């Protein structure tokens, strides 16, 4: 009986593994077809743009097979969350296809329009909102977006699970935010389209642009040595995404001085010392001839991330140090959607800058 149970477990694990690989391949295929169809109208990357790392399955293979008991528990607890993340990622392409004639332009929008939009975004659990044009060097190589402007959105990752990284709790929190932020970006793109504004929702799981650098350009924070956005509200504890839009005019970037945190990051370097994968370049390097520099060696970071429950050690260390130093506005217990002194609801990010 025990032997039969073990065989069923192995077969179930392989089935889950193949399902995840199939789901991710579907997303990559949808993305490729979408770019090919809209290429003449898209804002495309530069030849020197950084390459996006693809496919969690490939990085699991690079990192090695985990103990069978771990695989079984992950399948049981994590696979339903993966399924929902992939579902919402697929939906972004369906919504993006509903923009109609891309040669036309949306009608001008006003300040009250953006105020209403931010209220709707907050109601969907979005914590950080900013606006910027999309620099082509921030678009991943051979990727593109439909429009020249972006609404940058961030959602907090809860402090409790992240403080226990690497753990199943931290991994599940990562997927929860991918799912919730993915659902929010879809609903917000639909809201914009219903009001005559063209909008392309970009899912936080993967994405087409360097989210942390986009968020920094929108005034939501500053990238740390670990490649994550550090915001005044949550440090590195957020995941990010964008809505590409042709809306005009967009609000200016947030005024958000991050000089103190940026200077602190340069001398702290605890994330470099704590990285279990040894995945930091110190000093940093330039990637692929791009002017963007990085401290992160993705050939070491991503396999470890895939094998050890979304890792998040650098995120945990950075969040703790910033909170203990008193450098965050409102601290760790600040509630979602709370307002800063200027009356604006500002928000929070994930994907590494490179």
- Report the chain's mean pLDDT, rounded to a whole number: 84
pLDDT band at 79 (very low <50, low <70, confident <90, very high): confident
pLDDT of residue 71: 59
The encoded tokens of residue 82 equal 């993966």
Q: Find the mean pLDDT for residues 63-92.
A: 74
| Band of pLDDT at residue 100, cut at 50, 70 and 90 | confident
What's the full length of the chain, in residues?
A: 354
Which residues on adjacent β-strands are paired with residue 44? Answer: 144
Closest CA to 348 of 155, 70, 117, 100: 155
Give the pLDDT confidence score for residue 73 in this predicted structure.
64
- The whole-number average pLDDT for the span 337-349 is 33
Rounded to whole angstroms, the Cα distance separating 124 from 185 reads 9
> Given this model, what pLDDT does residue 53 score?
73
- pLDDT at residue 51 greater than cutoff 50: yes
**CA distances (Å), origin 311, targets 63, 143, 237, 308, 329:** 13, 27, 13, 5, 26
Q: How many domains does the chain have?
A: 1
Among 30-34, 78-82, 317-321, 327-331, the least confident range: 327-331
* Of 48-57, 292-301, 329-338, the least confident: 329-338
pLDDT for 351: 57
Average pLDDT estimate for 23-27: 86
pLDDT at 328 over 90: yes
Domain that holds residue 192: 1-354
Biggest CA pair distance of the chain: 69
125: left (phi over 0), alpha (psi -120 to 50) or beta: left
The mean pLDDT value for 28-48 works out to 94
- The pLDDT, as a whole number, for residue 282 is 80
The pLDDT score that the predictor gives to residue 106 is 86
pLDDT at 11: 42
The predicted structure's pLDDT at residue 331: 41
pLDDT of residue 297: 85
pLDDT at 118: 98
């Amino acid at each position: 009986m025990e032997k039969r149970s073990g065989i069923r477990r192995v077969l179930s694990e392989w089935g889950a593994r193949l399902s995840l690989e199939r789901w991710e391949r579907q997303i990559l295929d949808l993305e490729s077809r979408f770019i090919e169809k809209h290429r003449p109208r898209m804002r495309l990357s530069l030849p020197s743009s950084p390459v996006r790392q693809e496919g969690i399955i490939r990085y699991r293979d690079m990192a090695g097979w985990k103990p069978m008991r771990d695989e079984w528990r992950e399948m049981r607890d994590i696979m339903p969350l993966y399924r929902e993340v992939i579902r919402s990622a697929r939906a972004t392409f369906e919504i993006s296809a509903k923009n109609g004639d891309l040669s036309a332009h949306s009608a001008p929008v006003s300040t009250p329009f953006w105020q209403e939009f931010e209220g709707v975004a907050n109601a969907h659990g979005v914590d950080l909102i900013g606006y910027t044009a999309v620099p082509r060097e921030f678009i991943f190589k051979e990727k593109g977006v439909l429009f020249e402007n972006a609404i940058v959105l961030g959602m907090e990752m809860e402090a409790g699970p992240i403080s226990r990284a690497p753990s199943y709790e931290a991994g599940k929190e990562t997927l929860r935010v991918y799912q919730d932020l993915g659902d929010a970006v879809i609903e917000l793109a639909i809201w914009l389209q219903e009001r005559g504004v063209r909008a392309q929702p970009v899912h936080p799981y993967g994405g087409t642009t360097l989210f942390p650098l986009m968020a920094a350009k929108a005034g939501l924070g500053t990238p740390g040595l670990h490649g994550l956005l550090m915001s005044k509200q949550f440090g590195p504890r957020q995941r990010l995404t964008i809505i590409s839009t042709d809306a005009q005019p967009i609000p200016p970037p947030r005024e958000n001085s991050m000089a103190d945190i940026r200077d602190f990051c340069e001398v702290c370097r605890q994330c470099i010392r704590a990285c279990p994968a040894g995945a930091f370049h110190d000093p940093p390097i330039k990637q692929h001839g791009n002017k963007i520099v990085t401290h992160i060696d993705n050939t070491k970071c991503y396999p470890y991330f895939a094998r050890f429950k979304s890792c998040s050690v650098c995120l945990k260390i950075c969040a703790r140090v910033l909170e203990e130093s008193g450098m965050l506005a409102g601290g760790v217990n600040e509630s979602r959607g709370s307002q800063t002194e200027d009356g604006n609801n500002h928000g929070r990010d994930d994907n590494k800058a490179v």
